[in-house]
Chains A and B, each alone.
Chain A
Amino acid sequence: MKPSGSISRRQFIRSTALTTGGLIIAFHVPAGIRKAAALTETSLFMPNAFLRIGADDSVKVLLSHCEMGQGIWTSLSMLIAEELDADWHKLQVEHAPADTAYYHTIYATQRTGGSSSLYSEFDRYRKAGATARHLLVQAAANRWKVNSNECRTENGYVISGDKNVRYGELVQEASALPAPADVPLKDPASWKIIGKEKIKKLDSPEKINGKAVFGMDVHIPGMLTAMVSRVPVSGARVIRYNEAAAMAVPGVRQVVKIPTGIAVLADDFWAAKKGREALKVQWDLGEASHLNSDSLLTELKARADKGGTAATNAGNPDETFSKSKYKLEAEYYQPFLAQAPMEPLNCTVQLSADKCEIWTGTQTQTDDQRAAAQITGLPINKVFITTCFLGGSFGRRNITRSDFVREAVEIAKATGKVVKTVWTREDDIQGGMYRPAFLHRFKVGLDASGMPVSWKQISVGQSVMTGGPFEKVAVINGVDMFSIEGMQTAPFVKKIKDQKIELNTPTWPVLIDNWRAVGLSHTIFAMESLIDEMAYAVKKDPVAYRRMLYKDVPRLLGVLNLAAEKSNWGSPLPKGRGRGIAAYEAVASYVALVAEVSVLKDGSVKVHKVTCAVDCGLAIHPDGVVAQMEGSIGYGLSTALYSEITFKNGQVQQKNFYNYPILRIHEMPEVNTFIVPSNEKPGGIGEASVGQMMPALTNAIFAATGKRIRNLPIKKVNTGTA
């Protein structure tokens, strides 16, 4: 029998496809788009849901996924432009509306997440471009009365002999042709856009000049700004609040109680904020008032002592452990974390009797539609969502329960007003949806060669997937595979005959959800710290030891060796400096990082350099891959060094960047990224290297100081000299 919870992210995607009805490739053009286009355009070629070509030669790509900094605005467009032979400089991009045509090919809802956009769209977007090209060629061939195989395409033209015609001139004729059932895709050898170094991001110019529209920038005539007094723990209840005081603030228009708290509606942000402060809401925190970080940690440890549900259970690990040449026991703790995207949450809603219009930055359009439909009683197809640029997300806008959209719709319903909710930074840091705190405890026996031969593990932390859309696939026999993501599936762990991996899943009133890399955000730290400890325990070089562990995993071995080579692993370092490595598979890609650090006298950590080797399969937009590696390294460093959400009597202690610090420019190391050339299917990128950064850093601190860090955040290293 297959052990429960024993699936990787790749297998998760496959299993999800099976439960959602298989890979969906819908090419129909949504009726709403057809209608809207008919009103504004006299001549438009819409070969499928993803592409519109205008008589003016404009080529517009519609993105089923959202742009939050990960770069799909560009990389998905590259797939279409390549097959279409479009003029790259004439490409326009916009977020698609919420519609079944834009359902994720695997998740069967419109959703961006799991670093899956290129993985899942590689074929569909190329086919969308190829289909359009086929029709344009056919239209030109008909016009010239030649065979279509006598025509070729280049940079927005169909060409045959000395004749050529712009795509824009063909839109009416092409629109009249029947769509082909299937079209061949280009031979990768002939690609001019995919995989090319020089491609610049299509959204950079408007993000640089300030014209890009984020959800926060939406303005609808008559709109009021709403701010909600809410608590970040579930089960809390309002006791009293001073509505009159809030209403007395100039500019405040209305105060209304909604399920998540008390909303103040005002002419602008400032009045809403002052009105909210005047409310002076008193809360009964209920059960949540007992939440304290110290006692939560105590409970994590007690639960680890108690054991949990077995994810794997084979042989006799205790007996093998007792006979092992080397024995190692270690425990790693990682705290609750906030995503803290730069753009605080916001959502604009205009509700009328027959429709609900929503403007926001979201990763989960279909879930949001369903939530709004449920609240308003409208059918789902009367909920219209305009997806704006997301000012970062890192999972905060990929929330199981559509929290911030739901809340805005509740306010619109309760007041009848056009409303934009705006969260402050304090609301964001204290407003939940955290990465759960996790404790991973190991007892490992190693043979004379250093290979692990017995493995006992207990992991303790809340389940992210329970209660969400992927529960059926991700939670198997009580084991949320994301809680131990990449651990039980690690290639060397799978081979250990004597093993028991258990999971204990507390249910606490802390609001948790997706956080960049989900389970891998904490499991890689535990695994790669442990592996490093195993290497030192058997007196092997950390890179040499991993070569042994991963000798049958060529792609992981590949990035390990490349990172070691490019970082000059093993070469002498100035006194006080150390190098640390971490290498792991994540979201169907492989990343190895080498950090070079020193620890200052006061215990603060200076990261000099990070070398990154990445094998993400085919790198569609290589500079975008490099950018994601750099950014993830910064994100991981922030997390390892500083990030921690703590509770005292039910209240979150952190409020803003002064006590939830984010890495700043002077703390950013030099990062050098090397991409392994590959023609494998594209893997994920946005979450592929966050998890490796934390252990690469702490492993380097160990190399530099001999101090092993098993609890995050590091804050300062206790060097014993300060």
Chain B
Amino acid sequence: MIQLTVNGKQYEVDVLPDMPILWVIRDKLKLTGTKFGCGAAQCGACTVHLDGQGIRSCISPVSRAVGKEIVTIEGLQPSLSKPLMEAWTEIDVPQCGYCQTGQIMAAAILLRENNDPSDQDIDNAMSGNICRCGTYQRIRKAIHLAAELKRSAT
């Protein structure tokens, strides 16, 4: 049995310690907002926060999360989720939508650290996240807008 904290809730899961966090949260906890895209830390669709760090949950064994706090798109703190989701809606970013939760989780880390990211900052923070539909231009706009919304809220 492995003890986990996900989005502030305690869970006890009966899984092997090498099972990636992604499959624990998707298959065992049924939190399906976090997506499987590559299984090789190549696309960022599975991005979650582990003790505040953005990680690729598809290659991170669940043993790594013991005693730490996992945050998924379902539990992203409002100070970040509110401006990001508002901006993503305003710019109408998604096409197929499959990668977008991972994009938002990656953007959340950027926004937490940087209230006014430049295009270069966005490139640096977001180049690990693939969008096959090619919504990058809108992701960029949405991050700028989210930063603006966050600044005006504080």
Contacts A270-B16, A344-B36; A632 near B134 (Cβ below 8 A): yes
Distance, CA A422 to CA B36, complexed state (A): 10
Residue of A205, A341, A623 touching B96 (CB-CB under 8 A): A341
**Stretch of A64-72, A161-169, A467-475 on the interface side:** A64-72
Q: In the complex, which residues of chain B have a beta carbon less than 8 angstroms from the beta carbon of A340?
A: 132
Judge whether A146 is part of the interface by a CB distance below 8 angstroms. no
Instruction: Identify which of B15, B18, B23, B42 contacts A658 (C-beta below 8 A).
Output: B42
A68-B96, A203-B97 known; A668 vs B134 contact (CB < 8 Å): yes
A205 and B89 contact, CB distance less than 8 A: yes
- Please, how many angstroms separate the alpha-carbon atoms of A652 and B47 in the complex? 28
* B77-129 residues at the A interface, CB under 8 angstroms: 85, 88-89, 92-101, 104, 122-123, 126-127, 129
Other-chain residue from B45, B89, B122, B129 in contact with A204 (beta carbon distance below 8 A): B89
- In the bound complex, residues from chain A placing their C-beta under 8 Å from that of B39 are 424-426, 656
- The contact size tier of chain B is 35 or more
* A601-631 with Cβ < 8 A to chain B: 623, 627-628, 630-631
**Which residues of A sit under 8 angstroms from B130, Cβ to Cβ?**
342, 657, 662, 664
Choose from B32, B42, B73, B137 the contact partner of A630 (Cβ within 8 Å).
Answer: B137
Does A392 have its Cβ within 8 Å of any Cβ on chain B?
A: yes
- Tell me whether A539 is interfacial, beta carbon within 8 Å: no
The one of B15, B37, B45, B135 in contact with A627, judged by C-beta atoms closer than 8 angstroms, is B135
- Of the candidates B26, B36, B97, B139, the one having the most CB atoms from chain A within 10 angstroms of its own CB is B97
* Chain A residues in 8 Å Cβ range of B136: 634, 663-665, 668
Contact with B along A210-232 (1 / 0, CB 8 A): 11111011010000010000000
State the CA gap A116–B98 with chains docked (Å): 23
Judge if A670 is at the interface, Cβ distance under 8 Å: yes
Task: Give bound CA distance, A51 to B26, whole Å.
Answer: 34
B51 at the interface (CB under 8 A from A): no
| CB proximity of B126 to chain A, nearest CB, Å | 5
Interface 1/0s, chain A 321-335, versus B by CB < 8 A?
A: 000000000000000
B123, A342: Cβ atoms under 8 Å? no
Report Cα–Cα, A212/B126, bound state, in Å.
Answer: 22
Q: Which of B1-57 contact A (CB under 8 A)?
A: 15-16, 18-20, 23, 26-28, 30, 32-40, 42-43, 45
Given contacts A269-B23, A270-B27, A656-B40, contact A250 B16 (CB under 8 A): yes
Are A665 and B126 touching (Cβ within 8 A)? yes
Inter-chain contacts of B129 with A (CB < 8 A)? 664-665
Contacts of B137 in A (CB 8 A): 630, 668, 670-671
> Does A343 have its Cβ within 8 Å of any Cβ on chain B?
yes
A425 B85 Cβ-Cβ under 8 A: no
Give complex CA distance A276, B49 in Å.
Answer: 30
Enumerate chain A residues within 8 angstroms of B134, measured Cβ to Cβ: 630-635, 638, 663, 668
| Docked CA distance A207–B89 (Å) | 10
Which residue from chain A places its CB closest to the CB of B37 in the assembled complex? A342
- Expressed in whole angstroms, the Cα–Cα distance for A634 and B42 within the complex equals 18
Interface of B is mostly: loop
Contacts of A341 in B (CB 8 A): 96, 98, 132
Q: In the assembled complex, which residues on chain B have CB atoms less than 8 Å from the CB atom of A268?
A: 15, 19, 23, 27-28
**A46 CB to nearest B CB, Å:** 29
What's the nearest-Cβ distance from chain A to residue B136, in Å?
A: 4
A268–B85 alpha-carbon span in the complex (Å): 31
A149 contacts B by Cβ under 8 Å: no
Residue pair B95, A389 in contact (C-beta under 8 Å): no
Q: Which residues of B contact A664 (CB under 8 A)?
A: 127, 129-130, 136
- Residues of B within 8 Å of A2, CB to CB, are none
A143 at the interface (CB under 8 A from B): no
Closest to A686 in B: B95
Is B144 part of the binding interface, using a Cβ–Cβ cutoff of 8 Å?
Answer: no
Let me know if B150 is at the binding interface, CB within 8 A: no
Docked complex Cα distance between A208 and B138 (Å) = 13
Report the separation of the CA atoms of residues A670 and B98 in the bound assembly, to the nearest whole angstrom.
Answer: 23
- Contacting residues of chain A (211-259) with chain B, CB-CB under 8 angstroms: 211-214, 216-217, 219, 225, 250
Cβ-based interface call for B133 (8 A): yes
Given A210-B32, A658-B42, A666-B123, answer yes or no on A391-B27 (Cβ-Cβ < 8 Å).
no
With A200-B89, A635-B134 in contact, do A657 and B97 touch (Cβ < 8 Å)?
A: no
- Residues of chain B lying within 8 A (CB to CB) of residue A205: 85, 89
Which residue from chain A places its CB closest to the CB of B101 in the assembled complex?
A210
Complex Cα distance, B7 from A210, in Å, reads 14
The answer to whether A200 touches B42 (Cβ under 8 A) is no
**Chain A residues with Cβ under 8 A from B23's Cβ?**
268-270
Check: A201 CB closer than 8 A to any chain B CB. Answer: yes
Q: A71-B95, A204-B94, A392-B133 are in contact. Are A630 and B27 (CB under 8 A)?
A: no
**How long is the Cα–Cα vector from A671 to B134 in the complex, in angstroms?**
11
Cβ contact of A209, chosen from B36, B43, B73, B93, cutoff 8 A: B73
Contact A69 B38 (CB under 8 A): no
Residues of A at the B interface (CB closer than 8 Å) are 68-71, 200-201, 203-205, 207-214, 216-217, 219, 225, 250, 267-270, 340-344, 389-394, 422, 424-426, 623, 627-628, 630-635, 638, 656-658, 662-666, 668, 670-671
A sample of 17 cross-chain residue pairs with beta-carbon separation below 8 angstroms, ordered by A number, consists of A200-B89, A203-B97, A204-B93, A207-B97, A214-B98, A217-B32, A225-B27, A268-B19, A269-B23, A269-B36, A342-B130, A630-B138, A631-B133, A657-B40, A658-B42, A665-B131, A668-B140
Q: Which 3 A-B pairs have the closest CB atoms?
A: A210-B33, A634-B134, A207-B97
